[in-house]
Structure 1
């Protein structure tokens, strides 16, 4: 309550100044100093990277460089040397290590999330954080996460750390400044712009368990374009082997090591099974369900170029190409689990998929991602002092799926074992114009910076159909496909014919294989049929204004307004006000208030998916259908609508001559009409069963293979939420007799709660897990010590406790509390020559694991696969790098 009162008073006092800034826009006088500011920023960033002076930032105070302590909102600036100090190749993992409010999970068995991992900032999903490269919006990945919020954001892993000069993480809502998606914050990746020199790094490592070997090669080289330009190119190649953190598949209903659970009748002997079950695994000869990190490899190339034509004109361009692939495993299909069942062939004989896969099978799911982008632009200054930046960008991301080591059960003995289920494609085109102008206002301590601009964006999302066998409803998707039996249990003429040829057909036996119904499509991930394929597109326009100035020597204020208009959702106006007040030379206070708006993407509106989930040990085909389409509509869905947010922040900064710096920021994000997946609804083709009405809705909507679908869900604007939290950052460095030592401590507290459940479609278990399944506390403490040519870095990663529940709609849920964890990293570097450096180290040196899961584990899984705490254990590495 005290915090809210202080924040309210700050806003009320600042409001008259914000109005004054808005009206001051009519007095365009004075000259802009954008060119001088750019030069100053370049020098400041370089000096900050060398540890000489305070870091500077432009993100958060559009168009003008300010120190981090003077920024009106919290911003982390991560320099090149800090990026290099983390022993990860994936930029997601680097950010997770250095920014506590940024989290990313490793999901080994989660459809597309195996390839493009979901990340969060301040508890908000990926699509609520705007990602920029060189200040320009980064295009989205093609994947829509099929669970949770259904987020669709940029694939940060396609941006190699070797291409980066700095990373700016704005931890505050900034939709009014930068546009839709910036509800939780903004991450701006600044590319290297060197015109000479370069670097090369080779990194190798593996986990203590002896698996997960990873190899990374990265390089950068800068070239001069005449004496007024630069061309910097970076490339990175990574290759990671899978890990296995599993136990043998053993459940009450089926245990690999227990012959008594083996359904021997009709499937051969247990001895036959035991000799052949290894064929079920593509990567491990020890476990039929080898849970772990998937294998992956990636090649990425980025370039950044600029050329100064004159004192008033600079041309620039940057772009990227990434080719990435990954492969993981789905659930093990054991004999008799509903997928591997006896069926009657056309000649009356029985057949079973064990003739292809003795002992069962584990589907292998692979994705090949092709991602590329290009930006061209011109910036400069007109004679009247107006600076401009006009640019155009294009981005494309495509993921092509492959299913191997599986079957289309409904095709019986005619099934292939390799399928191409289709592809997802996301494309974006945008034209943008940004302008800034300084003009003097007599009452202010500095010129007023007036920034304004407009943009047009065209975006599309396409589901590209798969090969026919991946979605075909074969003859065994229905009972008695060959017409052998009459309704009264007697044999037809065709049935009598096969009986006469020696068939064991018994139409009077309801358990005869003739009545067996099997699933449709490539098992694990059916392909996109023509019915579910298609293209969704929209365009949008936006315009914004942004005013900022030092109102007094101690008070900086900023206000911004943005209007956006979408072809599918109409228009919205959002705004923001932020300020920083220097109480003394060493202490300051800052606050912000803003509104935000995020329109569901074309992908979120159009994505369709049928995947397999395990329920009670049985594989259940679960369908996701577009909320605005006829299928979900028949199930009770409403079309999606935009999410709207209100952000509040209040922060304090302190910096001392001794080198100690401290920032403390409190925040609250109220999100209205938050989009999320409803709890899965049962589907059953059995009349009178609880899911029978849902089956009828699917069947009447023309869903192929509706009989084999056991669950269905869709995205909805489910509820209103409130996220509250705190960010604390302190750093201190000093010279001593042993060299130079620096300390950095970053901590984040984040709490989410549902304030209004609008649909009632969330069961008790999902609601509890939404609010409690992630650690509320997260911290990183880093110590870096330099002495001569030696550097030692130690880092402690802290994760607070969290809970998970089980019981769906039970009045009293079963709950498990996971203890807090501390993972320690340690590395040492030696500068062999002026060019060559050798580094050795280990992540999680004490081989710490999270608690084993009681719920949502099993089938060989030990740890929750969505755990924020890494479950791969210790990892050691060595790295050699050259800077020339």
Structure 2
């Protein structure tokens, strides 16, 4: 039974009054609020200096650092999820790392189909590959959690394909993180919170400070520290093993958000040598130590009984480290050319540790370690970029902006073997370490040239053209182009649209990643716990089972949008889009290899290991088509008494359909493996497992006389399906859910501010998994839900600024 909340007073908050902030008010004499984010000068989706968000030819959302900091969540992806309907961030649990490197889904596409920039520079890829039961299986996302929110001035989110301007990955859009650039001032913020169930206590400390560098420069430093306790939403254990051990009906597992400790640093500096040359540099450093668990292991073997006579939970402790550093110079060359030259380096490391035992080692030697380092995945990237821009007077209403550039990338992936004991024999129980056979070092490079043109053809028509050619050392050439246009019928009505093609190169991690993990998989007879091997496409075992070299994904995108500004206070946008993607990169189905025929075939071809029951690899097996609609609205009031009121609405709809699937390799049929290359559950993850609808209605009211700011956000997460490989009768639809977030902030001087709030005030949870799909009783909630199963979260933050 869930514990009764001790926060009854908070639940008595004037909900109706705050919720009404998002509804129309009577119309007294209001003045326009000058702090309109549409007047923000943006740098994403254009190389024209001075372009404002309100005049962009493509849809761009601008999220301020203050908006990010005012959310009840501490990580960047989670904050964007609270603010943008076009973004979805599921809350997976116990998914072999997905709970520590959370996937961000944009426009219903894969997590690695959205490009991430920092200060306009390409962010390094992560080393983690999502292989667990979470959205985006087989994707290699950028680690957004490595960037401290306290360092962010704003985030510009371009909701359109942009490969022609930025290169690989920008199929769904671009997230450009702009860092704070201050020569004075700063702030410190401390946050404490916990969940309504009494667990998951969160402790955070954030701070930043700006410093002047002489009379011509600035330096901004930022730091964050975080310590989160784990949550546990596991159900009662109803397995025969639990009955035999006398713990039937008890909670014997841990399923929920991981325990987490993290530290993050960032800096952003610039110094003008003279009027024509400015030097700049910025960088980030981060480390996260997470802790989650696998399913309970009984003391049925001598090894387990020797160290854990009552059984144990194997503990999975990934350590994620990320460093990034950029040096550059910008300014004016001879004549009227502006330049920006930079060198960008980044590295992400994923180190899995596990607390378990090696049964074979114990049986052969009489002892086994109980702590293992399972190896290291390390991805690094160098980028050199030179961009030249100039405006030419060619007879248009405004000068034609021309940008040309070169970009060189060098990428490296190093996979290091784990401790001998971690992989010897069948390896550590639940997750064997990386064997020397899977270790290696791989690299590639690419060279890109690009051209951007943008100008106002008439007073009403703006055109933008971009073209890019890239040559990769491992899979060849790619040519991307885009044409965008905006027609302003009046200063208050505009139509915009774009046509583009794009691509996403397979990452080195996707090409060469290998691991063996204990996972619940549906191999055609219902979910069972198996040791599942994920193998590189160029490995012997993957090739024997039909794997082929990965190709780049290619895309075509069309967008059309309407921008309305009926009054100075009201802005409305609607953008419809269609995105087709060929050769999508995804994990194959898990192929069972336990039959005598399959084992003999593998043995005859040199595969002697029997430490796994299923095999899978990366494929280009699916073509998809996504259609969608993004709606945004914002209304601002300033009352005569100085109070400010803002209402916002953001809604997203997207639907993906698989238009073609590759045929299964013939060898599978010959071995009697009755599983297709991409099964219906995998197809469902591409189509119906991500909710099609998301709605956010928010209101903010500032009472100037009381120095009080109130915030309310009503969120609706759409329904979704999780499919079964065993039978359509086991498919489950998870219903749509509404949540309410409330917060209140009080400032008692120019320096001090206290915020108290509740996320998911009414403790809404996802639907429970059907009993037929939860045979152990442990996994009450699905890992695919965008709504956390942890429930209501209450927090308080104290901020001191100077």
**TM-score for the superposition, normalised by structure 2:** 0.90
Aligned to 2:660: 756
Distance apart, 1:360 and its partner CA: 2.1
2:237 equivalent in structure 1:
249
Instruction: Give the aligned partner of residue 90 of structure 2.
Output: 105
Task: Go from structure 1 to structure 2 and tell me whether the alpha carbon gap of 1:79 and 1:352 turns closer, same or farther (over 3 Å shift).
Answer: closer
Distance 1:164 1:546 in 2: 27
The change in CA–CA distance for 1:466 and 1:701 in structure 2 (over 3 A counts) is farther
What's 2:798 paired with?
Answer: 880
1:745 aligns with 2:665: no
Q: d(CA) in 1 for partners of 2:174 and 2:527?
A: 42
Q: 2:172 aligns with which of 184, 188, 191?
A: 184
- 1:293 equivalent to 2:257? Answer yes
Aligned to 1:55: 40
Which residue matches 1:459?
A: 411
Matches within 5 A, 1:304-323: 304-323=268-287
Does structure 1 retain, via aligned residues, the 8 Å contact 2:579–2:626? yes
1:626 CA drift (Å): 1.0
Cα pair distance change 1:815/1:699, threshold 3 Å: same
CA distance in 1 between partners of 2:448 and 2:37 (Å) = 40
Structure 1 pair 102/303, CA: closer, same or farther in 2 (3 Å)? same
SS class of match (1:806):
coil
Contact 2:304 2:359 in 1 (8 A): no
- Measured after TM superposition, the shift of residue 735 of structure 1 is 2.1
Say if 2:284 is the partner of 1:366.
no
* Residue 802, structure 1, aligned to residue 802, structure 2: no
Q: How does 1:295-444 map to 2 (within 5 A)?
A: 295-335=259-299, 340-341=300-301, 351=302, 353-409=304-360, 411-412=362-363, 413-442=366-395, 444=396
Quote the Cα distance in structure 1 between the aligned partners of 2:495 and 2:686. Answer: 33
Question: Aligned partners of 1:697, 1:634: CA distance in 2, in Å?
Answer: 9
In structure 2, the CA distance between the partners of 1:111 and 1:187, relative to structure 1 (3 Å rule), is same
Deviation at 1:91, TM superposition (A): 0.7
Alpha-carbon shift at residue 874 of structure 1 (Å): 0.2
What is the aligned counterpart of 2:110 among 104, 119, 125? 125
Matched-pair contact (CA < 8 Å) for 2:43–2:120: no
Q: Give the corresponding residue for 2:625.
A: 722
The whole-number CA distance in structure 2 between the counterparts of 1:791 and 1:672 is 48
Deviations 1:46-96 (A, max 9, x none): x99944872331211223332223211110001122122212111110011
| Distance (whole Å) between structure 2 residues aligned to residue 461 and residue 247 of structure 1 | 39
CA distance in 2, matches of 1:114, 1:846: 24
Tell me if structure 2 keeps the 8 A contact 1:48–1:56. Answer: no
Select the residue among 194, 197, 206 that pairs with 1:206: 194
Shift of residue 287, structure 1, vs aligned partner? 2.5
Cα distance in structure 1, aligned partners of 2:604 and 2:405:
50
**Matched residues in 1 for 2:720 and 2:430: separation?**
31
User: Does 2:718 align with 1:814?
Assistant: no
Measured after TM superposition, the shift of residue 149 of structure 1 is 4.3
The change in CA–CA distance for 1:187 and 1:53 in structure 2 (over 3 A counts) is: closer
Q: TM-score, normalised by structure 1?
A: 0.82
In the alignment, the residues of structure 2 paired with residue 645 and residue 462 of structure 1 have an alpha-carbon distance, to the nearest angstrom, of 29
Q: Name the structure 2 match of 1:679.
A: 589
1:578 counterpart (466, 480, 484): 484
**Inter-partner Cα distance in structure 1 for 2:170 and 2:681:** 30
Aligned to 2:15: none
Q: Indicate conservation of the 8 Å contact 1:576/1:592, yes or no.
A: yes
Question: Who is 1:515 aligned against?
Answer: none
Cα distance change, pair 805–617 in 1 and its aligned pair in 2 (3 A): closer
Q: Does the CA contact (< 8 Å) of 1:48 and 1:55 recur in 2?
A: no
Residues 198 and 697 of structure 1: is their aligned pair in 2 closer, same or farther, counting only changes over 3 Å? farther
Matched, 1:774 2:690: yes
Task: Give the whole-Å Cα distance in 1 for the aligned partners of 2:773 and 2:359.
Answer: 27
Aligned residues: 745
Counterpart contact for 1:460–1:536, Cα < 8 Å: yes
> In 2, Cα distance between the equivalents of 1:232 and 1:224?
9
Equivalent pair of 1:807/1:813 in contact (CA under 8 Å): no
Structure 2: which 5+ runs fail to align?
1-31, 665-676
Residues of 2 paired with 1:662 and 1:178: CA distance? Answer: 28
Instruction: Give the conservation status (yes or no) of the 8 Å contact 2:532–2:614.
Output: yes
- Indicate conservation of the 8 Å contact 1:801/1:819, yes or no: yes
Question: Deviations for 1:379-424, whole angstroms, at most 9, x for unmatched residues?
Answer: 0012310000000011111121111144344542422211111011
Choose from 151, 168, 173 the match for 2:139.
151
| 1:107, distance to aligned residue in structure 2 (A) | 1.8
CA distance in structure 1 between the partners assigned to 2:605 and 2:370 by the alignment: 29
Q: Tell me by how many angstroms 1:564 deviates.
A: 0.3
- Structure 1 segments unaligned to the other structure (5+ residues): 1-46, 263-269, 279-285, 342-350, 474-519
1:168 paired with 2:156, answer: yes
Aligned-residue CA RMSD in angstroms?
1.9
Map Cα deviations across residues 142-174 of structure 1 (whole Å, 9 max, x no partner). Answer: 111125541112100011110000100001100
> In 2 relative to 1, CA 48–405 (structure 1 residues): closer, same or farther, beyond 3 Å?
farther
- Indicate the residue corresponding to 1:493 in structure 2: none
2:768 equivalent in structure 1: 852
- Contact 2:356/2:428 (CA < 8 Å) preserved in 1? no
Residues 462-481 of structure 1: matches in 2 within 5 Å?
A: 462-473=414-425
Q: 1:239 to 1:698 in 2, by over 3 A?
A: farther
Distance 2:774 2:47 in 1: 47
* Counterpart residue number, 2:548: 638
Does 2:504 match 1:598?
Answer: yes
Q: Which is greater in Rg?
A: 1
Q: Partners of 1:230 and 1:116 in 2: how far apart? A: 33
Pair 420,796 (structure 1): closer, same or farther in 2 beyond 3 Å:
same
1:587-626 alignment, distance < 5 Å: 587-614=493-520, 619-626=529-536
**Would the aligned equivalents of 1:103 and 1:119 in 2 still touch at CA under 8 Å?**
yes
Residue 356 of structure 1 and its aligned partner are, at CA, apart by 2.2
Query: Is the Cα–Cα contact under 8 Å of residues 752 and 771 in structure 1 kept in the other structure?
Result: yes
Instruction: Quote the Cα distance in structure 2 between the aligned partners of 1:52 and 1:703.
Output: 59
| Aligned twin of 2:399 | 447
Counterparts of 2:351 and 2:766 in 1: how far apart (Å)?
33
> Residues of 2 paired with 1:593 and 1:68: CA distance?
20
